[in-house]
Structure 1
Amino acid sequence: MVPFVFSTHFCVEADPSSIVLSVRDVALRRVWTATKRARFLPRGVSRLVNRAARASRPMIVTSDRFVVTPLEEGQTYQRMLDVWTHREDLSASETYRNIWNTLTRTGRYQHKRYEITDPAEIPQLIATCYLDLLESMSRDGYCADRTSALATGGLGRAIVWQDGSLVHENGATHRLAAAKIVGLRHGFPFRIVGVHEDWLRANGVGERPSKEAVRRAVGLSRSVLCVDPDRVDEDSMGVQ
């Protein structure tokens, strides 16, 4: 099958409860790690390098360059679940204890852009970075306009895997974890950044697929509720 790259990637509305796997693109990860270590590079240059690396990846993918892990084994999911389970008494959570231990050992704790130096600030950090999102997702579902100056935000990226399932690559990891934990089953948006060639073959997509044929195959994924061709993001090659 001939690989190709979309000039823009398209979005879908998905059932987050059906997404059980996370994939990591080994090649993209190496580029991202290299730019992180190259401290002399300006941040803007690092972003351009990562965008170029992502843009060079074909839309049609194979399993070779990906590492697959269960989504629920990820640190973000485990931490969100821990907070949700102990929401009535956050001090009983493992997350609280881990933050406390780090504070007492180093004098500071940072999650993304939120930094604290006083143990009395731990409940507020947990509420701001985890619990508020979980409660909002449980109450209101996915809200596209819900953003935070303390987090990276962004839209999640996903790949239609070889069995037709939707797998999470990166982006919006906290939102996806929250949606799964509170039982949301609809209305979660993803940018589709790859489709496995085995899924295309299984659905009769030929050697030189059109964008329309790929979209139709994506729409047959059991995780996808709606393919929305109007929600195209021109800046679809964001930093990993």
Structure 2
Amino acid sequence: MTHKEFNRLAGERAVIWVDPARVPLHSGSKWPVYRKRMLRLRRYVPLAFANLARPALKAREPFFIPGDAFRPGQPVVDTPRYRKVADFISHRDTPTDSLWYRDLMRELETQGVAWHKKIAMRSEAEILDFLEGYVGGLMDSLRAHGFSSNESRYESSALICRDGSLTKTGSGNHRFNMCHALNVTPFPLRIVGAHRDWFTDNGGSDDSTLDALLARIQEVGAQHR
């Protein structure tokens, strides 16, 4: 079963609600097999030709990830995004003392514009407005009301490791890190893949039904609340 096929068939049943603090790792890409194949392909063909193969390789991404392609990642609390978020929380009332402010100001001074996704900041005033209004406002809302799926869809994703633990992948990282650092729970994660041996070591097989797999995924969610 491919990654794409699983997402289509599972829909919202692949979403689990967890305590972010119980998701210890971050693996980056939610396409580990694709990533491995691309790295191998780029050893033999120019980048322009390798890029032409991207859609086909992504379409072949399996839901069950072989052990040699599975990357458990690094501790969430050691990632640059988490450190920046946690530091901003400690400087909520003095944003100019925060690491996030210093990073944006450095980018502004060296490049003439600082970016957060598609938000362009061309002055210190715009940076402060972003930090105090957008970042601070989002943090205050999460702290007061928790995560609301009405404000953001389930873009945050995760993979199931061999031992049944979770590793964060894909997008939605700032909200995830904010909830992790603020102890806001529960938080939704969409399961987009799993270590092959997690399923087979616990009695799963190629003949198992989608419902059986989804039931197991919800069990993983229950263990991370």
TM norm structure 2: 0.78
Asked whether the 8 Å contact 2:18–2:222 carries over to 1, the reply is yes
Asked whether the 8 Å contact 1:18–1:223 carries over to 2, the reply is no
Correspondence 1:91-240 to 2 at 5 A: 91-147=96-152, 155-186=155-186, 188-221=187-220
How far has the Cα of 1:66 moved from its partner?
Answer: 3.2
Figure out how many residues of one structure are paired with residues of the other and give that number: 207
| Structure 2 partner of 1:233 | none
Judging changes above 3 Å, is the alpha-carbon distance between structure 1 residues 73 and 223 closer, same or farther for their aligned structure 2 residues?
farther
Measure, in 1, the Cα distance between the counterparts of 2:164 and 2:80: 25
Asked whether the 8 Å contact 1:203–1:217 carries over to 2, the reply is no
Asked whether the 8 Å contact 2:34–2:57 carries over to 1, the reply is yes
The structure that is strand-richer by fraction is 1
| Structure 1 partner of 2:69 | 65
Measure, in 2, the Cα distance between the counterparts of 1:106 and 1:189: 36
Instruction: Specify the code of the residue in structure 2 equivalent to 1:219.
Output: Q
* Structure 1 spans left out of the alignment, 5+ residues: 148-152, 227-240
Instruction: Specify the code of the residue in structure 1 equivalent to 2:79.
Output: G
Asked whether the 8 Å contact 1:160–1:195 carries over to 2, the reply is yes
Measure, in 1, the Cα distance between the counterparts of 2:174 and 2:157: 13
Asked whether the 8 Å contact 1:164–1:220 carries over to 2, the reply is no
Measure, in 2, the Cα distance between the counterparts of 1:154 and 1:15: 15
Judging changes above 3 Å, is the alpha-carbon distance between structure 1 residues 134 and 216 closer, same or farther for their aligned structure 2 residues?
same
How far has the Cα of 1:140 moved from its partner?
Answer: 0.9
Deviation string for 1:15-42 (max 9, x for gaps)? Answer: 21211111234443476xx9xx86xx9x
How far has the Cα of 1:118 moved from its partner?
Answer: 1.3
TM norm structure 1: 0.74
Asked whether the 8 Å contact 1:165–1:223 carries over to 2, the reply is no
Measure, in 2, the Cα distance between the counterparts of 1:73 and 1:140: 27
- State the identity %: 23
Asked whether the 8 Å contact 1:165–1:222 carries over to 2, the reply is no
How far has the Cα of 1:137 moved from its partner?
Answer: 1.2
Judging changes above 3 Å, is the alpha-carbon distance between structure 1 residues 127 and 63 closer, same or farther for their aligned structure 2 residues?
farther
* Structure 2 spans left out of the alignment, 5+ residues: none
